[in-house]
Chains A and B, each alone.
Chain A
Amino acid sequence: MAGARGLALKRPSALPGFGLALGFTLTYLSLIVLIPLAALVLKSATLGFAGFWEIVTGARTLAALRLSFFTSLFAATVNAVFGTIIAWVLVRYQFPGRRLLDAFVDLPFALPTAVAGIALTALYAPNGWIGSWLAPLGIKIAYTPNGIAIALIFIGLPFVVRTVQPVLEEFDRELEEASATLGANRRQTVFRVMLPALLPAILTGFALALARAVGEYGSVIFIAGNLPFISEIAPLLIIIRLEEFGYAQAAAIGTAMLMISFGILLLVHLVQAWQRRRFGR
């Protein structure tokens, strides 16, 4: 996202090849990202603004969008917290099986999402291993928004772990030691010295997990139950519209998702830019 500070180009560095690199980047991004997205927007534009507005503010669409974005934000937040903890454990503690655990982290990436969805459904269904324990307590996971959140947490986990891990590995021990000699206890060192330094990486992981969660389809539809107004996510609604040959409607929902996602990611990016300016680089 180059739009953080208007259209001002970053000043070219002393390294040669700036023009070439920029040209290549723009061409590549256009082919891979911008043109398909533009096509999407154009398609939805065939509805005219009033038509577009009617569709995206329709009760069912709004419910789906709300569900998609709130569960995604929730899942990304959970991942930011637990992903950081997992990265911490993997980097800071030596224990048998650490490498194995490290390898497990990537599994949500490797697994076809449908497989993940079916596995999670089997576990969390009222008669599943975990679901059968929760059912007597009145907690329902599968076929509710809770299930969607679980699936989104599952698929987004690696992002935060993998962005925080290298930063933590590089983290200068002397900073912790300096903090301790200045009288800070362990908790103060973690919260005041280390986490602020990890925050940019955590935010990056958060943004990636969020983006992935918003667009996730395969794993969610199995566990969600897909009841309109309750557990129907926006990507599913798009598929439904497509199956009804409502291409423009589908494109309109897609465009709405695109704009919201872009807004959120831009916000995250701005926070990071602000942080970078403070830390200086």
Chain B
Amino acid sequence: MDARVLNEVNYPAAGDRGGTPAQWVRTVDVSAENVVRIFGTTPALHGVSLDIGAGELVALLGPSGSGKTTLLRILAGLDVPTSGRVLFDGEDALKLTVQERNVGLVFQNYALFRHMTVLENIGFGLRVRPRIRRPSRREIRRRALELLDFVQLTGLEKRYPSQLSGGQRQRVAFARALAIEPRLLLLDEPFGALDAKVRRELRRWLLEIHTKTGHTTVFVTHDQEEALELADRVVVMSEGRIEQIGTPDEIYDKPNSPFVYSFIGESSVLPVRVEQGKVWLDEHPLDLAAGAVPSGPARLFFRPHDVEVGNDLPGAIPGVVQGLRRHGGARRVDLEVGGRGDRVEIELPADYSLNLSGRVAVLPRRYRLYPATTQTNLS
């Protein structure tokens, strides 16, 4: 996306830029270079490197404690890395104070000012500007009202945060962050505290806003569905490291580690063996290519719905049905496989006839093999 995106929604005028008639949002590309953050003796980030293009919408995805918030706070300037660099448009951002960075940050709990009305909250960033850059009171009010319309809360300007629903507070926090004409938008679990329906609505809404304003945006989530649905690119983190960066398709279809495979989407794992370029389950050779995986124990990952099922499939995985569950439009089947009682889950059409304790063979259509020595951080 172009670094400068024409604003279609009459986004607040750039009063501090000499009043250019065209209304542009100035946004930046962001790079983190080998960012390390150590709290006391606990490392929270071990050398994170990341490039975010101007106008990109990037999701930071990872389990709890993986360092997502820490990274976000460092980008915002609320925390300083122990070592490493942060660049905005190629310039050292660490030299800038929080105030100078001009980053719009939306906190997970919104952090709205309780003693200010919605309108005062939104206008806060403009009111605290140094006098020479401060718009007039009327102008501040006008812009705040405009943003209020923009986040679809028209008419609520006189309310206090305590008089709003969670989703509405979210939007006020959003409008407040947009009011300062940020160069970068950072959202920490923006929908974390909301119920599923509101989350879905706000997701669509966020996407719309991003398309309209074109801010470089980084949002933290531990909801993979949210990350895959919204982001241009997804950054998967685990234990202070970046596991993989890629488009949602790359992350979902080509996870580069067992961790990413099991963290993103649903997956079944089966311990197997690789010998002479073939994959073995106990004494059964499987009709799967071992690829570059070296001989020795390995683990086979596949998605429940990416399987072929039949009783006459050569080189398939034989199993015994242990459980049947209805799952939306399909049926989930627990299969016991091999001699050690390993279990995998597969998905079949709801009308596929199967009985408990019945036998069935499955062959993953798409799968990934990882040498068993590779660490899986997620147990």
Contact = CB atoms under 8 A, between A and B. Distances in A.
B128 A188 contact: yes
Interface residues of A, number: 23
A179 interface: yes
A280 B76 CA distance: 30
Interface stretch (B107-115, B202-210, B233-241): B107-115
A199 B102 CA distance: 29
B82 interface: no
With a 10 A CB-CB cut-off, give which of A174, A188, A281 has the most chain B CB atoms. A174
A185 B99 CA distance: 7
Given A177-B78, A192-B128, A279-B114, A184 B162 contact: no
A280 B169 CA distance: 14
B147 interface: no
B252 interface: no
B162 A279 contact: yes
A183 B109 contact: no
Contacts of A278: 115, 160
Nearest to A196: B115
B118 interface: no
Q: How large is the interface on B (under 10, 10 to 19, 20 to 34, 35 or more residues)?
A: 20 to 34
Interface string B90-102: 0000000011011
B99 A180 contact: yes
B103 interface: yes
Given A188-B128, A279-B160, A178 B107 contact: yes
A120 B104 CA distance: 54
B125 A182 contact: yes
A94 interface: no
A13 interface: no
With a 10 A CB-CB cut-off, give which of B101, B124, B180 has the most chain A CB atoms. B124
Given A182-B125, A183-B125, A197-B115, A280 B162 contact: yes
Chain A interface main SS type: helix
Contact of B104 (A179, A181, A199): A181
Nearest to B79: A177
A177 B109 CA distance: 12
Contacts of B105: 177-178, 181
Given A178-B107, A178-B111, A279-B114, A183 B180 contact: yes
Contacts, number: 75
Contacts of B114: 197, 279-280
Contacts of A172: 109, 111
Interface in A184-200: 184-185, 188, 192-193, 196-197, 199
B115 A175 contact: no
A174 B115 contact: no
Interface string B268-294: 000000000000000000000000000
B178 to A, nearest CB: 11
Contacts of B355: none
Contacts of A280: 114, 160-163
B103 A181 contact: yes
Nearest to B125: A182
With a 10 A CB-CB cut-off, give which of A175, A182, A193, A278 has the most chain B CB atoms. A182
B26 interface: no
Contact of B99 (A183, A192, A275, A279): A183
B176 A180 contact: no
Given A280-B163, A281-B162, A184 B111 contact: no
B128 A182 contact: yes
A188 to B, nearest CB: 5
B125 A175 contact: no
A181 B98 contact: yes
A184 B115 contact: no
With a 10 A CB-CB cut-off, give which of A179, A181, A185, A275 has the most chain B CB atoms. A181
A188 B103 CA distance: 18
B111 A182 contact: no
B104 A184 contact: no
A274 to B, nearest CB: 12
B129 interface: yes
B102 A183 contact: yes
Contacts of A193: 113
Contacts of B78: 177, 180-181
Nearest to A279: B114
Contacts of B77: 181
B115 A279 contact: yes
B128 A185 contact: yes
Interface string B122-166: 001100110000000000000000000000000000001111000
Nearest to A200: B115
With a 10 A CB-CB cut-off, give which of B76, B113, B129, B179 has the most chain A CB atoms. B113
A281 B115 CA distance: 11
Contact of A182 (B109, B115, B176): B176
Contacts of B176: 178, 182
A182 B180 contact: yes
Given A184-B99, A196-B115, A278-B115, A179 B124 contact: yes
A204 to B, nearest CB: 16
Ranked nearest first, the 6 interchain pairs of A and B with the lowest CB-CB distance are: A280-B162, A182-B125, A184-B128, A178-B111, A174-B111, A196-B115
Given A174-B109, A179-B124, 10 more contacts: A172-B111, A177-B98, A177-B111, A178-B105, A181-B77, A181-B101, A182-B125, A182-B177, A185-B99, A196-B115
11 contacts: A177-B78, A179-B124, A179-B128, A181-B76, A181-B104, A181-B105, A182-B176, A184-B124, A185-B128, A280-B161, A280-B163
